[in-house]
Each structure stands twice: as C-alpha cells, then as structure tokens.
Amino acid sequence: MKAYLFPGQGSQMEGMGTQLCELSPSSAEFLEMADDVLGYKISDLMYNGTREQLRETRITQPVVYVYSVVKTRYMRAFKPDMVAGHSLGEFSALASVRTFTFAEGLKLVQKRADLMQDICEKVPSGMAAVLGLDDVVTAAICKEITEETGEVVVPANYNCPGQLVISGTNKGLEIATVRLKEGGARTVLHLKNVHGAFHSPVMEPARKELARYIEQMEFKAPLVPVYQNVTARPSQDPEEIKANLIAHLTSPVRWTELIENMIMDEATQFFEVGARPVLASMVTRINRRFTPVFL
C-alpha cells in the first residue's frame, strides 16, 4: 500500500515557485488562483521571496501548502492508499484527498498562519531539537521546568528515535537547554526557521480562534484514511478530523507513532511530496526497512 507524506514548516526554499512551474507549466494557473484567493501576490513570494521572507510564519505556511497540494494535482502517479502530513503538512494531506478544496484549505492555512504569527510577535518563544536523549527523559525534564518556573516548555514533535523537538518560551528553552545537556542530550539545537512555540500551550489563544473558523467549514470524508498528528491514528470522519485539527495547535506531533501505525496498517511504500526532502530520513530512522521516495 502506498503512503504519501507532506512536510510542514521548514521545507520551504527560495525559488520554489519557479521549481514548481518547471515541473509542470500548468502550475502557474494554480499560483494565480492562490493570488486571487488570498488577495495578495503569494506567487511573487514563491518565485522571488528571500530566505528571511519565507521564514515568516504567515508566509511560510501558505507557500508550503500551495507547493505540496499543487504538486499532487498534476502527478498522474498520485494514487494514495493513505496519507499524512507533519504539522502544517496535515492540511496539505487533507486537501490532497479532497477533505476540502484547494481554495478552502488555503484560506484555512492563511488564517492559521496569521493567528500563529500574532502569538509569535506577542510572546518571545521558539522550538529546539533535542538529539540523543530518550523521549521519556526529555519529557520529564520539560515537565519539571514548567512546574518549577512557570515557563512553558513541552515536547512538540516526536520526530523519530533520538530526535524530539521541544517548544516553549525563550526563557523555558534557555533553562531546558542546560538541563537537557546535563541529563545526557548530545545537543540541543534551536530552530532558526521557527519563531514561535508551536504545538504548545503558548498557542492556546490561536487555537480558540481557529476552532471558530474550522467549525464553520464543511469537511468532506477524505478519499483515503488520513493519519492525524494528534492521535497518530487514521480517520475518514469529517467531525473527528475537525476536532483533531483544532487540537493540533497545542498538542504534540506524534510522528514516530504515526509512521509505525501506517506500517502496521500495511504501508509498503512511502512517498514525500514537497519542495525538498525533510521527512524521508525520519521514516528511515523509525524503520530502516523503508527508504521513502521524494517526488
């Protein structure tokens, strides 16, 4: 069975619009549609945006979504048996299997990005990758810091064995960096492409606003099961998918468990759909029998 994976924030790159149109000239029509939907020239940013511009959350999220979803529209070989997306990539995955239209999903992603950007500007926060330390130990240290100091620092992305991304306030991350290294972490690497505490309680105000938006949308049953970040389990129930997307902003991405569940459900091939490979190495580290194909 074929499993298609969609990357999230951090997979963007300069010139991604040009790259997309080189793959298929018809992509230009989708980029024009995206401009019309959003009311600004997102296509210009995809063609000419600088690295710094593309790191801004309210820009990053729609460009990543547009790239991945448009890529699936002209891929004749895109015949998934199951799909999943990492963080933001879950929205691309849902659009790819017609849970909502390209335009509906783009409006939703832009709303999400704007809400998250607002939080980023109000609360100095970020994310950091913890390498070489057991997930249970990392989670325990984060919990201790939050309870002792009141600073938010929590597990955010369970990416693969030996790599857990934490999320929190800048002060919380500062304390965590010291304690995690003392606890045996090989390194704690602060992520430069992310300027906010995604998948943490810091995003609670954004979650509440996004919930109101999502609840007004009409979701259709996806064509194939979508494995969701919050539960790591598949769903084709529109209401369940909505509830999980709402919880998505403040809950961790259970990627390791999600990939393991896909394999348990008889996934035999993995394909990554994005501007550059990000998830393939994670899948291989989760299960060395699999070497995903980057499309």
Q: Is the pTM here over 0.85, yes or no? A: yes
Class level of CATH domain 124-190: alpha beta
Q: Is 248 a catalytic residue?
A: no
State the chain's maximal CA–CA distance in angstroms: 56
Topology of domain 2-121+201-294 in CATH is: Malonyl-Coenzyme A Acyl Carrier Protein; domain 2 (3.40.366)
Q: Give whole-number Cα distances, 228 to 41, 234, 262, in Å.
A: 31, 6, 11
As a dihedral over the C-alpha atoms of residue 21, residue 27, residue 33, residue 38, rounded to 10 degrees, the angle is -50
Per-residue pLDDT 10s for the chain (295 aa) are 999 999 999 999 999 999 999 999 999 999 999 999 999 999 999 999 999 999 999 999 999 999 999 999 988 889 999 999 999 999 999 999 999 999 999 999 999 999 999 999 999 999 999 999 999 999 999 999 999 999 999 999 999 999 999 999 999 999 999 999 999 999 999 998 788 999 999 999 999 999 999 999 999 999 999 999 999 999 999 999 999 999 999 999 999 999 999 999 999 999 999 999 999 999 999 999 999 999 8
- Domain map (residue ranges) of the chain: 2-121+201-294, 124-190
Per annotation, catalytic residue among 43, 87, 96, 200: 87
Active site residue 281: no
Active-site residue, selected from the candidate residues 96, 199, 200, 248 = 199
